[in-house]
Amino acid sequence: SHVMHLLSERGIFDRGLKFRSMILPDEFIDQDTPEKMYDKAGLNCNSIVDKIEQTLSSKVIFVKNNNN
């Protein structure tokens, strides 16, 4: 949240940075090994790699602003 706020305030998103957040789900996750808890939350290594690949391959269309 703080990183996203800083990037936004500095105008980094205005320059075309692709950003996707990954957060803990809003549900209780039973205690287990850290690896299993990350799996249940969708925050394991494979999930992070999948999110990165989806983000890098996404087509983003920018609208040109003629007011600048």
pLDDT at 67 over 70: no
Say if CB 21 and CB 4 are below 8 A apart: yes
Sign of CA dihedral 29, 19, 14, 1: positive
Contact 43, 62 (CB under 8 A): no
Q: Average of pLDDT values for 24-51?
A: 94
Phi, psi of 36 (to 5 degrees): -70, -35
DSSP alpha helices (H): ranges in the chain?
A: 2-9, 34-41, 45-57
Q: Mind listing the pLDDT tens digit for each residue in 44-63?
A: 999 999 999 998 887 766 55
Give the global pTM.
0.64
Mean pLDDT of 21-34: 93
pLDDT computed for residue 31 by the predictor: 96
Domain ranges of the chain: 24-68
The more confidently predicted of residues 33 and 13 is: 33
Measured in residues, the chain has a length of 68
